[in-house]
Amino acid sequence: MGGSGLVGSAIINQFAGDTAFHIYATYFTNQIKYNTKGNFKLNIDDLNTLKHLLKKINPEIVISCLRGDFKKQLLTHIRAGEFLRTNGGKLYFFSTTNVFDGNLNTPHFEDDIPISQTNYGKYKIACENKLIKILDDNCCILRIPQVWGKTSKRMANLLNSLENNEEITLYPKLFINTTIDVIIAKQLYYIINHNLRGIFHLTSRDIVNYKSFYIELIKRLGFSNTKISDNFEDTGYFSILSKRTNEFPSNLSITNNYVIDYLTK
């Protein structure tokens, strides 16, 4: 679900080369340019469409990268979870660093209790809890940080600002971590093929200063004399770390410098 976005597209590309998987994907407005025989339009306003698709496909695995209205997304995930519980299947739910945005005093690990002060973070927490209650061990929670990709909106917006010499706001007192779409897809592929379960933080293994990351990325992209505005109000650690990195091969454990290398090569 949500196959037309940055992460969803990377996942489709990753799994497309493995004939053991029959891939079906949903979209709402942006049609998927590949996997055309298995793509379906899904409007989360219409739960009957979801019910029809689940009955038609009868999936063993559902991967959710959905976006949209939070309340409607929650209902969609509950229905999908109930179907998988009844018919046998697993759900891999992409969540976010925002489940911890109510406490920026420290980075957070998989076993930390989420606390959020934003509607987005609260929705993700509600979804995590509902799916775990419905599916128990057959629900896998995948929390991700700031996601980059060569074709991502984040990258396009940065390049547009740089090319037009627009002012860029940076946060010198905020610490983050990052990842890229293709690594997320490879990590999920590994998780599914090795039947790993529970909660995962799919993130870089290190933390970086927000401003330092962007300054280095901008420099490596070949821009200089960039207009920078410092915002000192946002402080703390908007970041997640993982206690489960040893469960993955070394090529799936990355740093923030790796992200910059990938984006600029």
Q: What is the dihedral of CA 87, 84, 113, 100, to 10 degrees?
A: 170
Distance, CA of 2 to chain centre: 11
Q: What is the mean pLDDT of the chain?
A: 94
Instruction: Give residue-wise pLDDT tens across range 53-90.
Output: 999 999 999 999 988 888 999 999 999 999 999 999 99
pTM of the predicted protein model:
0.94
Q: What 3-state class would DSSP assign to 176?
A: strand
The angle subtended at Cα 21 by Cα 17 and Cα 25, nearest 5°, is 90
- CATH class of the structural domain 1-265: alpha beta
Please measure the distance between the N-terminal and C-terminal CA atoms of the chain and give it in whole angstroms: 31
